[in-house]
Amino acid sequence: MPAGVPTSDELLALLRAVIDPELGSDIVDLGMVRTVDVTDDGVVAVDIALTTPGCPLKHQIDKDVTTRLGTAPGVTGVDIQWAEMTSEEKTACMAKARWNATQRAGDTTVPPTTRVIAVASGKGGVGKSSVTVNLAAGLAAEGYAVGVLDADIGGFSVPQMLGVEGRLRGEDDGKIVPHVKQVGPGRIEVVSMGFLVEDQESALLWRGQVLSRAVQHFFEDVRWGDLDYLLIDMPPGTGDIQMSLARLVPRTEMIVVTTPGKAVQTVAARAADVARKTYLRVAGVIENMAAFTCDHGETYPLFGAGGGQELADRIGVPLLGSVPIEPSVAAGSDAGEPAVLGDGPAAGAFREIVRSIVDEAVPPVVMADCSARMLERVEAALGPKA
């Protein structure tokens, strides 16, 4: 190959980072990539076979393949040709997926059709938890079933912000039942360390591995319902929990929260970098605390301006929206009534972001004829695991 242009083997290695969200394995291992070639001028041609031409994950796979190959040095373009697997290829694909499922460290109780979104930031104080609960309430108000996993084990605040309290209960089989909050036609299922500790003002002096294990319990031992979305309120930084998430739920997508200041942008970019290094897709950026507008109409950018768009451009993802500084957001968090359910500029901004998530960034999956249903039928035929 000409100097600077990747080889087909190198491109295949890159495609191994593209995970089929339902089957939990990479598209190369599943036999979905038939050929991958590159021209002398750096245009990559990929032939991808889907289990069904109407698979709702086609758009997601298209994005992930284009992003993964398009960022490789020497690549000037990506051309994807789609095809449908033959019956033999489908059989081999499902057999491989079933084998891989038996080799994974452990299954989670999160339904395979649930869109998992980690709401992350590089540092604390940017309003990440507030964004998480408002997105959850906004999605529920649209009629979706939404889970909220408070993964900020030592700094939990989700119970207060959603107005949910009380100890979590367990069932006879040892599974934990999340608290449920009805919001309009939808519902929010909530799990947090705040529902398990005796004294919410006492600090948890836990090391990284213990924190990761606690989050693992929330994925494996909680009886999550039939969710459309699961939002994860991540702890600040880029530590053990962030890396554990990629291992436990590799189909997770990340939304990065930042404030407009340049210093915060740099730290927030690290969260996106960790996501990509662990093969998680970054779905977009939300700019919080964008500006404050006083009663007489004057707007003051207290934390700067334009930082959200600059970060989105830097890491190559869309800006999902900007949320202005508004007293109703803090008041709603204190009262357990998220601002998105009320009126005002911040509520409108959150609702627009919710619509962007549903329509473009992370749409729900309709699984009538997709590969996960095929896998379910295979597993049903095989019977329960030993």
Give the separation between CA 310 and CA 41, rounded to whole angstroms: 30
Give the separation between CA 38 and CA 4, rounded to whole angstroms: 12
* Type of residue at 357: I
pLDDT at 381: 52
Give the separation between CA 380 and CA 24, rounded to whole angstroms: 18
pLDDT at 261: 82
For 73, the token pair is 């040095």
The count of other CB atoms within 10 Å of the CB of residue 317 is: 20
pLDDT at 103: 55
pLDDT at 386: 43
- Measured at the alpha carbon of residue 117, what is the angle toward residues 205 and 176, in degrees to the nearest 5? 55
CA distances from 199 to 56, 133, 158, 167, 286 (A): 45, 22, 16, 12, 33
pLDDT at 355: 95
CA distances from 69 to 39, 72, 340, 361 (A): 14, 5, 37, 19
Residues in the chain: 386
H-run or E-run covering 159: helix 158-162
Answer whether 233's CB lies under 8 Å from 147's CB.
no
- Counting other chains too, the contacts that 67-70 makes at CB distance below 8 Å and 24 or more residues apart are 67/281, 67/316, 68/14, 68/15, 68/17, 68/18, 69/11, 69/14, 69/15, 69/44
Sign of the Cα pseudo-torsion (375, 380, 385, 386, in order): negative
Give the separation between CA 308 and CA 301, rounded to whole angstroms: 13
pLDDT at 39: 92
Give the separation between CA 58 and CA 370, rounded to whole angstroms: 10
Residue 154 gets which letter from DSSP?
Answer: G
All domains in the chain, ordered by first residue: 8-104 (3.30.300.130), 115-361 (3.40.50.300)
Answer whether 344's CB lies under 8 Å from 322's CB.
no
Instruction: List the one residue out of 294, 322, 296, 319 whose CA is nearest residue 309.
Output: 319
Sign of the Cα pseudo-torsion (374, 61, 358, 101, in order): positive
Answer whether 285's CB lies under 8 Å from 258's CB.
yes
Give the separation between CA 271 and CA 269, rounded to whole angstroms: 5
Answer whether 132's CB lies under 8 Å from 235's CB.
no
Instruction: List the one residue out of 346, 370, 342 whose CA is nearest residue 20.
Output: 370
Please give the distance of CA 352 from its chain centroid, rounded to a whole number: 18
- pLDDT tens track of the chain, all 386 residues? 555 788 989 999 999 989 887 777 899 999 999 999 999 899 999 999 998 877 778 888 998 999 889 888 889 999 999 999 999 999 898 888 767 755 554 578 888 889 999 999 877 778 899 999 999 999 999 999 999 999 887 778 899 999 998 888 888 788 889 999 999 999 999 999 888 776 665 555 555 556 667 788 888 889 999 999 999 999 876 667 777 777 788 778 999 999 888 777 778 888 888 887 776 888 999 999 887 777 777 777 777 678 889 999 988 899 999 999 998 888 998 899 999 999 999 999 999 999 999 987 677 666 555 655 555 555 555 555 44
- Cβ-count burial 22-33 (b if 16+ within 10 Å, e if not): bbbbbbbbbebb
pLDDT at 174: 80
Give the separation between CA 324 and CA 347, rounded to whole angstroms: 9
Answer whether 23's CB lies under 8 Å from 375's CB.
yes
pLDDT at 105: 43
Half-sphere exposure of 327 (CA within 13 A, CB side): 3
Q: Burial-class residue 241 by CB neighbours within 10 Å (0-12, 13-18, 19+).
A: buried
